[in-house]
Structure 1
Amino acid sequence: MRFVRADQLVEGDRLGKSIYTSEGRLVLKQGALLDKRLIEGLRRRSLRYLFIETTEARNAHPHALKENLRAQMKDLLALVTAAVQRGGAVPIEPVLEWSAHMSRIVMEERDLMYHYEDLLRGDDSLIAHSVNVCFLAMLTAKALGYSRQRIQNVAIGSLLHDIGLFRPHDGTMVIHHPQVGYELLRQSPGVPAAALRIVMQHHEQLNGRGFPHGTKGAELAEEAQICGLCSEFSYFMNDRLADKLPCGGIEYVMSKIDTSYSYAVVRGFLKAFVPYPIGTELRLTGGLLATVVELNKGHLARPVVRLHQFGTKFNLMEHPGFMVEAVV
């Protein structure tokens, strides 16, 4: 099944999950073929998302799938932000429904990876940051062999890890935002304890130098480490004062091993993030232009490329003197 926005429905879609009223009355049964009249009726009910069956037309290219998933995350975060800023309750039901669907997609889609070009860079908003962190955290959890339920917990916690900053504040609350976010979500029924720990601990570090409580060692949940590492990486890559390359981001992440995060978590992250996917155009040392044609699994930041000028393959693992200077 696919989880799509109501405004993205098209004639010929088939409903993947029955729709009920708040009183439990059936509105439309699973398997119903949607025509123009039914689509207009569903939109009038102010439904935000629906499940539809996966068809060949809907079985999109991985890049298009990621675009759709990112749009869902942004929409959910905008909904949560508006509610929190009004002082209302966190609308957790749509988040729980989304996370259940998202965890299934992450488990089933073998080719779902996050690349350098997927990062929402140049946008320092909390929503863009949270989308980056959530996507990377879920894929890292998958690389670590997490079950679907644990990936779902990571999805909820990492999507809402900065919810404590959604309230208007003067900057003095920054160090307290994990506690504030924890208290906000603790009042919402159905939020898993593992997701709450992510929100509370995502700025803690193995060596105890994090905040807000200086949690360290075995007391620091692995799920929270995943979120924290992905958050630091997102901020590092989105530094407006410098144009950061993926190789620099990977070196930054590796520098955190055993001080901030465990080796296992860093290794999982490095399996989830592909800096230079096949087809990426690069500029190398000396101005050489090249296209990535193979990945070195031992070091994804040093791929095999084909040099434009000579048409020959060139393995960057075997030529340490040549560096990637830019993504073209």
Structure 2
Amino acid sequence: MRLVPIQYVKAGSFLAKTIYDDRGTILLREGVQLTENYIKRVVQLGMFSMYINDEYSEKNVEDIIKPELRQKAVRTIKDTFYSFEKFNLNATKNNVQDKKYITEKQNYFKAIGDIVKEIMEEMLCKKTVLINIVDIKSMDNYTYQHCVNVAVLSLALGIQLQLDKKKLYDLCLGALIHDIGKALVPEEILKKNNKLTEEETSIVREHTKRGYDFLKGSIDISATARIIALEHHEREDGKGYPDMRKDDEINELAKIVAVADVYDALTSDRPYRKAMSPNDAVEYIMANGQTQFSYDVVKAFSKCIVPYPEGTIVRLSNGEIAVVEEVYPNFVLRPKVKIINKKNAKDEAIYRDLRNELEIVINGLQYEVTDEKSL
């Protein structure tokens, strides 16, 4: 199984992961043979990549949480965002205390709390938490899918940092709702195809305070989770927003969500740019430790994120093309690989453990393999 940009997907390939539409309904089920019409339909839904199975990548890439739980979480976040929009409209009519809306708001936040418990239960029982979180997102559902990914990655970082269960709960909860203020950002701004104007940028940046204000007074949302929504765009060097906090002025859990938020955003296709490769995104995060991000969080991030999951085809610095066979904790940038563009004299497969062959590095991802003999 490997994640392939849509322009490299060929008719006749087999889908390796089920694709859902913006309502959470199955669009294409895992195992279906792809046709030109199927591929066009996926593009029309605003998806720019998909997982496929081929002769080069036979291993499955398992999600850290069950697909059913992921879809349930996305639907719950989506419904909560819509509730926020309705609550805001109600507020403009001076009926802020309307019991119907307050009860609905509380019910949604209770449902999110239940989702957090389920995600924690799945992830805490795993012996190691290595994350390949490059997910297939649709443009329509991007914000909700992004929130779930950020929650999963934040929780993995929290586990790596050995936080206690109370902090892990607040971390996961705050991460799930960190972008709730974007429910009030006009869709035409969120989906704009080019650079935002200063005014539009200012509107987007209001989402942190708007989200924080909406969460006030909710008995199911802790103060720490609210602060995560407020501070996840603050920076270590004080150049973030909304309050230009720095260093120890920023909540420790908000620092974790900041890293998860940027990583998932960088590795996602957006209307104004294509997704960055996972390895480039990892390098960006690591290069900005102590300026944009907390050094301790970046160090934890480097140990549990998997930029080259099993099944990924990569280019090596010595010119070889290889498939990632095994990923090692604490050495995620140096996996074991199988060379696919040449064999030894006995026509046997060649394997390289990059932990031991330090002179060889991975130069990048290889999406298209045409002819093994000519590569």
Of residues 82-91 and 144-153 in structure 1, the stretch that sits farther from structure 2 once superposed is 82-91
Amino-acid identity (%) = 24
1:27-75 Cα offsets, whole Å, 9 max, x none, are xxxxxxxxxxxxxxxxxxxxxxxxxxxxxxxxxx953843122112101
Residue 261 of structure 1: aligned partner: 293
Q: Would you say 1:323 and 2:363 are equivalent positions?
A: yes
RMSD: 2.7
Indicate if the aligned counterparts of 1:74 and 1:131 stay in contact, CA closer than 8 A.
yes
1:2-37 Cα offsets, whole Å, 9 max, x none, are xxxxx9xxxxxxxxxxxxxxxxxxxxxxxxxxxxxx
130, 133, 157: which one pairs with 1:140? 157
CA distance in 1, matches of 2:63, 2:239: 38
161, 171, 196: which one pairs with 1:154? 171
Q: CA distance change for structure 1 residues 224 and 243 in 2, over 3 Å: closer, same or farther?
A: closer
Of residues 82-91 and 133-142 in structure 1, the stretch that sits farther from structure 2 once superposed is 82-91
> Aligned with 1:204: secondary structure?
coil
Residue 74 of structure 2: aligned partner: 74
CA distance in 2, matches of 1:75, 1:122: 14
Gaps of at least 5 residues in structure 1 are 1-6, 8-60
Indicate if the aligned counterparts of 1:205 and 1:261 stay in contact, CA closer than 8 A.
yes
213, 220, 225: which one pairs with 2:255? 225
Q: How does 1:242-321 map to 2 (within 5 A)?
A: 242-284=274-316, 288-308=320-340, 309-310=342-343, 311-316=349-354, 318-320=358-360
* Distance apart, 1:234 and its partner CA: 1.5
Indicate if the aligned counterparts of 1:246 and 1:301 stay in contact, CA closer than 8 A.
no
Indicate if the aligned counterparts of 1:284 and 1:326 stay in contact, CA closer than 8 A.
no
244, 261, 269: which one pairs with 1:214? 244
Q: CA distance change for structure 1 residues 119 and 206 in 2, over 3 Å: closer, same or farther?
A: same
CA distance in 1, matches of 2:362, 2:312: 17
CA distance in 2, matches of 1:101, 1:64: 12
Residue 44 of structure 1: aligned partner: none
Indicate if the aligned counterparts of 1:107 and 1:148 stay in contact, CA closer than 8 A.
no
> Aligned with 1:75: secondary structure?
helix
Residue 219 of structure 2: aligned partner: 189
Name the aligned partner's letter for residue 276 of structure 1: Y
* Distance apart, 1:299 and its partner CA: 3.7
Of residues 225-234 and 62-71 in structure 1, the stretch that sits farther from structure 2 once superposed is 62-71
Name the aligned partner's letter for residue 163 of structure 2: Y
1:176-217 Cα offsets, whole Å, 9 max, x none, are 211111111112112112111111100001111110011111
* Distance apart, 1:227 and its partner CA: 0.7
> Aligned with 1:313: secondary structure?
strand
Of residues 77-86 and 287-296 in structure 1, the stretch that sits farther from structure 2 once superposed is 287-296
* Distance apart, 1:296 and its partner CA: 4.7
CA distance in 2, matches of 1:200, 1:237: 23
CA distance in 2, matches of 1:136, 1:156: 12
* Distance apart, 1:285 and its partner CA: 5.3
* Distance apart, 1:164 and its partner CA: 0.7
Gaps of at least 5 residues in structure 2 are 1-23, 25-60, 88-100, 190-199, 344-348, 369-375
* Distance apart, 1:314 and its partner CA: 1.9
Q: CA distance change for structure 1 residues 132 and 242 in 2, over 3 Å: closer, same or farther?
A: same
Residue 178 of structure 1: aligned partner: 208
Q: TM-score, normalised by structure 2?
A: 0.65
Residue-pair matches, total: 269
Q: TM-score, normalised by structure 1?
A: 0.74
Residue 180 of structure 2: aligned partner: 163
CA distance in 1, matches of 2:205, 2:64: 37
Indicate if the aligned counterparts of 1:104 and 1:148 stay in contact, CA closer than 8 A.
no
CA distance in 1, matches of 2:237, 2:178: 21
CA distance in 1, matches of 2:170, 2:63: 24
Indicate if the aligned counterparts of 2:119 and 2:152 stay in contact, CA closer than 8 A.
no
> Aligned with 2:291: secondary structure?
coil
CA distance in 1, matches of 2:261, 2:305: 13
Name the aligned partner's letter for residue 213 of structure 2: E
